[in-house]
Homo-oligomer: A and B are copies of this chain.
Amino acid sequence: MTESDDIFTARGSVLIAGAIIDGSTVDIAIDETGTIAGIGEGAREAIDVDIIIDGSERLAVPGLVNTHTHAAMSLLRGYADDMLLQDWLSQKIWPLEAHLSGDDVYWGTKLACLEMIKSGTVAFNDMYFFMDRAAEAVDEMGIRATLAYGFIDLSIPEKREAEIKATESLARHIQSLDNPRIRTAVGPHSVYTVSLEGLRWCAEFAKEQGIGIHVHLAETEKEVVDCVAQTGKRPAALLDECGCLTPRTVAAHCCWLDEAECRLLAERGVSASHNPASNMKLAVNRAMPYHWLKQAGANVCLGTDGCSSNNNLDMFEEMKFAALLQKFAWNSPTLLPAGEAVTMATAAGARALGTGPGTLTVGAPADIVLVDARAVCNTPLYHADSNLVYACNGDAVMTVLCQGRVLMHERTVPGEEEILEGAAAAARSLVGRARQAS
């Protein structure tokens, strides 16, 4: 079978013929299970080829992994910006979110998945509400996701019970889907929104279920100052005391960590998710101390945060923001070079979510992105990593495979028009309901 419209529905082994990896033109063979079976010399012989994808003039790179987002907030893209954090939340975001329905989350997550696929992301780490509907969207879109219900008890026992039930219910639901692409995690929102009892329950439940933890950590100075004033401990120490720092924990932001906290995260095997665009937009006044985390040996990955504080999900753009923010904020033009930014967005992200090595190697899941080597952003092409991080954005991505299945080809994603219409309609309806109520 050759390249055709059926490429999205066809099942079987895939040969990417003659793509560019590290400056060499090589074949990539993918077996029926969606695993990379061979690369380079003799790769064609590793499989009985069912589907051929022309890789010429394409850079093959591992699929990108977005380790911190609130996918359905794509419906809030551009709804309110350029405000003080508290005004923005209390006057704009929360009043709108109060009217959020399961349908909104379904359409918002569909839109987010479409955007991620179109910019080369194959897996994401999500925290929000109505997560059963998010799972439905992810299932349909063919991407990977780790879905956490945002656990916020505000130290109110009744609320804690409700959050526990919601978390347990989501875990059961995801288990029932039996889709290897979709996992769940426990989502204690942060030390300032969850009680010690709540944090301890989350840690216990994650351990019992063998699932991950997704938490916000040290995003603002206020979070650290308040935590120390109330508990005598900095946020990372407090999370650790509650058992929340594990090798399956992803801690988002990490802007205000001190050096000892960086070492603690590394010791516990926690993945620290850098969210530079969001941190800049919300003016958190400090960039993640990447140099300390790196020195301590922590796994540092990358995330976009939600669309209302970015306002897109383009991990290529995020790599550039990461590499440039680190240089600027820590006054070092050599900090976070292009190659490390690519690793952050691929291998480190895959490690954080447990989705494989995040590299193009035999035995790895075929999560592969083909980037246009003839795009302006790749002309000239001295160093692919430099162009990917500093010159290109996600629109240079032409083809995306997740576990060997083609999700986008030559920039076409099946069903794009319906998703754009459905999401726009959901956004209109949400704003209309909020206006009516106010």
Residues of A at the B interface (CB closer than 8 Å) are 74-75, 77-79, 81-85, 88, 111, 114-115, 118, 277, 279-285, 287, 307, 310-312, 314, 317, 320-321, 323-325, 327-329, 331-338, 374, 376-377, 379-383, 386-387, 390-393, 395, 420, 423-424, 427-428, 431
Q: Which residues of B contact A79 (CB under 8 A)?
A: 380, 382-383
Given contacts A317-B393, A379-B77, contact A386 B84 (CB under 8 A): no
Whether the Cβ atoms of A280 and B328 lie closer than 8 Å is yes
Contact between B424 and A379 (Cβ–Cβ < 8 Å)?
Answer: yes
Cα separation A431 to B83 with both chains bound (whole Å): 48
Contact status A333-B282, CB under 8 Å: yes
Other 9 A-B pairs with CB < 8 A, given A77-B391, A283-B332: A74-B379, A78-B383, A78-B391, A82-B334, A82-B338, A85-B333, A115-B377, A285-B331, A311-B391
Whether B281 and A390, one on each chain, are in contact in the complex, defined by CB atoms closer than 8 angstroms, is yes
Known: A395-B395, A424-B380. A311 touches B390 (CB 8 A): yes
In the bound assembly, the distance between CA atoms of A392 and B78 in angstroms comes to 11
Sampled A-B contacts (5; CB under 8 Å): A283-B327, A285-B331, A325-B328, A393-B395, A395-B395
Q: Is the CB of B337 within 8 A of A82?
A: yes
- Assess whether B280 is in contact with A327, with CB atoms less than 8 Å apart: yes
Alpha-carbon gap, A332 to B431, bound state (A)? 27
Beyond A81-B338, A337-B82, A376-B118, is A328–B423 a contact (Cβ under 8 Å)? no
User: A388 CB to closest chain B CB, in angstroms?
Assistant: 9
Find chain B residues with CB under 8 A from A386 CB: 77-78, 81, 311
In contact, A283 and B111 (Cβ under 8 angstroms): no
**A118: chain B residues within 8 A (beta carbon):** 376
A377 to B118: give the CA distance in the assembly, Å. 11
Q: Which one of B78, B83, B387 contacts A381 once the chains associate, using CB atoms below 8 Å?
A: B78
B82–A333 CB distance below 8 A: yes
Q: Tell me which residues across on chain B come within 8 A of A391, comparing CB atoms.
A: 77-78, 307, 310-312
In the complex, chain B residues whose CB is within 8 Å of the CB of A332? 283
A285-B331, A333-B82, A386-B311 given; A420·B376 CB < 8 A: yes
Q: How far is the CA of A374 from the CA of B382 in the complex (A)?
A: 34
Our pick among B111, B281, B379 for the contact of A423 (Cβ within 8 Å) is B379
A319 to chain B, nearest CB (A): 12
- The residues of B that contact A111 with a CB separation of less than 8 Å are 376, 379
Contacts of A75 in B (CB 8 A): 380
